[in-house]
Amino acid sequence: MPHAPRDHHDLGLAHDLHTLAAQAQRRKALGWIAALGSMGAGTLFVGCGGGSDDDATTSSSTSSSSNSSGSSSSSTTTSSCAVIPEETEGPYPGDGSNSANGSIANALMLSGIVRSDIRRSIAGANGLAAGVPLTLTLRLVNTRASCADLSGYAIYLWHCDQQGRYSMYSSGVTAENYLRGVQATDTDGTASFVTVFPGCYAGRMPHMHFEIYRNTSTALSYTNKLKTSQLAFPDEVCDAVYASSGYTTSASNYARMSFASDGIFSDGVTLQMSSVTGSVADGYLATLTVGISI
pLDDT for position 42 = 36
pTM reported for the whole predicted model: 0.75
pLDDT at 72 over 60: no
Pairwise CA distance, residues 47 & 14, whole Å: 50
Computed over every residue of the chain, the mean pLDDT equals 81
Strand pairing report for 227-232 and 207-213: antiparallel
Read off the pLDDT of residues 108-124 as tens digits, 9 standing for 90 and up: 999 999 999 999 999 99
pLDDT at 75 over 60: no
Dihedral in degrees, nearest 10, Cα atoms 212, 214, 216, 221: -60
| DSSP structure class, residue 110 | S
Q: How confident is the model at residue 80 (pLDDT cuts 50, 70, 90)?
A: low
Instruction: Considering only residues 166 and 40, tell me which one the structure prediction assigns the higher pLDDT.
Output: 166
pLDDT at 93 over 60: yes
pLDDT for position 34 = 38
DSSP string over 191-246 = EEEEEE-----TTS-SEEEEEEESSTTTTTSGGG-SEEEEEE--HHHHHHHHTSTT
Pairwise CA distance, residues 269 & 289, whole Å: 13
pLDDT at 92 over 80: yes
